[in-house]
Amino acid sequence: MRGREIVPGHPICCQFLAPFSPLPRTRAMTEQTLAAPIDDQQERQHGFSRYQSLLIALLAFTQFTIILDFIIMSPLGAILMPSLNITAGQFGVAVSAYAFSAGISGILAAGFADRFDRKRLLLFFYVGFTLGTVLCAVAQSYDVLLLGRIVTGLFGGVIGSVVLAIITDLFPLHLRGRVMGFVQTAFAASQVLGIPAGLFLANHWNWHVCFAAIVGLSIAAIALIAFAMEPVNAHLRLKQDKNPFHHLIATIGQPRYTLAFAVTMLLATGGFMLMPFSSAFTVHNLGIDILHLPTIYLVSGLFSIVTGPLVGRASDAFGKYPTFVFGSVVSVIMVLIYTHLGHVSLTTAILVNVLMFVGIFSRMIPSQALMSAIPDASQRGSFNAVSASLQQFSGGLGSMLAAAIIAQDPDGSLIHFDRLGYVVVTTSILSLIAMYFVQKSVANRAGRRVV
């Protein structure tokens, strides 16, 4: 650990010095031993160590490449379809292939997720994700592109759950909101930097260059993970079920995990109902020129980059659930306003989108931080993998349900979009109620009143 500060009681210190501790190996390890909390006053005064800051930045950069690879397909559609001579239906299959293969891989990986050093697991799936992106970059036919999207989904769909398990292992609960806030800025950064840069490369060269650029970024991230990140393997000293299938069944069958899985599905279903149709609604229903769409994404993304860390700090300072309640209230109000809008000015459209993103981040960050405290240390990897799988499947089902609800006028405007708003509001209220019982369970286990 040359050049890095080791503080007694620090989670990183406990993580890597634990194998050399004179304590007997049979001692039961809890979350406190995996991520021993730093004194609150000391942590607020000194912040994260240099290694922790590096780790957070590295995990955020990893998420940035994964999210960018997923969302870049949508704006590239107008270029990909004529280039490969494919229909809109074939393009839709290529987009959904990622989500469904990611959902399948989450279930398959769950039984093995707690049996390996999480650093090695992250590297394995990241290398597979990069190879899938290479296939997309060199694809000269639809079949190769489709294969690339399937491979990318199989590996990339698990990475988010591995990242969450690493954060849970190395950071105590009272700091996870801040960590999640920084890591989740990857979503906003992909909008601000990734999509405009990808479209610029595609317009000035070709769409292959977009995926080649993601490959280059991923290789850099792999090198940083391999040489700068320490092993994350303290969970291996916990009692493990030797049979991966039994480990998966034990995770799925754990009664107190069921509610957390249900909340994950509700959040994903509601979120994915509006997102696929937001561009068409903005252009045809709100009357915003298509040339101004990048401006809306840019401004919303910039605000989200600032909002993410602030929401993370607020969830640690005021409690995860109170912050989630705030985000839910803002989301419900803004979704109802957004889905009932007619023709508006660009300024109004930007303002509504910014406030919606504030609500989204104020739900997403505290919910992830809170649910990270649900699984036992020996089941974190499998719990997160199952959650990621359910999220992918629920998102796909949500998009299909939204497509069945709405219709399109000959002029391109969307009909019944307000009904989507009512469904999203309903899922938001249900998730708010369910999350109350989740935080109550976490608080009871932690011996505190508010989490």
Alpha carbons 211 and 201: distance in angstroms, whole number: 10
Instruction: Tell me if 150 is assigned to some domain.
Output: yes
55 closest CA partner among 103, 101, 116, 119: 119
14 falls within a domain:
no
The answer to whether position 399 is within a domain reads yes
Distance CA 121, CA 130 (A): 14
In 85-230, where does DSSP find H-type helix? 88-110, 118-138, 142-170, 173-183, 185-189, 195-204, 207-228
186 and 252 Cβ atoms separated by less than 8 Å? no
Q: What per-residue string of b and e applies to 185-219 under the rule 16 or more CB within 10 Å gives b?
A: bbbbbbbbebbeebbebbeeeebbebbbbbbebbe
The three-class DSSP label of residue 415 is: strand
Q: Which domain holds residue 418?
A: 49-446
Amino acid identity, position 248:
L
Instruction: Flag whether 28 is in a domain.
Output: no
CATH number at residue 260: 1.20.1250.20
If one counts the domains in the chain, the total is 1
Which token pair is 242?
């030797």
**Residue ranges in 339-416 assigned as alpha helix (H):** 346-371, 380-405
Residue 135 lies in a domain: yes
Tens-of-pLDDT digits for all 451 residues of the chain? 333 333 333 333 333 233 333 333 333 334 433 444 333 444 444 467 888 889 998 998 998 898 888 877 766 766 777 788 877 667 767 877 887 888 888 777 776 777 788 899 899 999 999 999 999 999 988 899 999 999 998 898 888 888 888 888 888 878 888 888 888 777 777 766 776 777 677 777 888 888 998 999 999 999 999 998 988 888 777 666 566 677 677 777 778 888 888 888 888 877 777 776 777 788 888 888 877 877 887 788 788 788 888 888 888 888 889 999 999 999 999 999 999 998 999 999 999 988 988 888 888 888 888 887 888 777 777 887 788 778 877 877 777 787 778 877 877 788 888 898 999 999 999 999 999 998 888 887 766 544 5
CB 382 within 8 A of CB 248: yes
- CA atoms in the 13 A half-sphere facing the CB of 8: 1
Write out the two tokens for 15: 């993580």
**H-helix or E-strand spanning residue 20:** none
In a domain, 21, yes or no: no
The whole-model pTM stands at 0.70
> In residues, how long is the chain?
451
Residue 31 lies in a domain: no
Which of 429, 445, 440 lies closest to 263 in space, CA to CA? 429
Q: Does 103 reside within a domain?
A: yes
Do the beta carbons of residue 386 and residue 106 sit within 8 Å? yes
Amino acid at 263: V
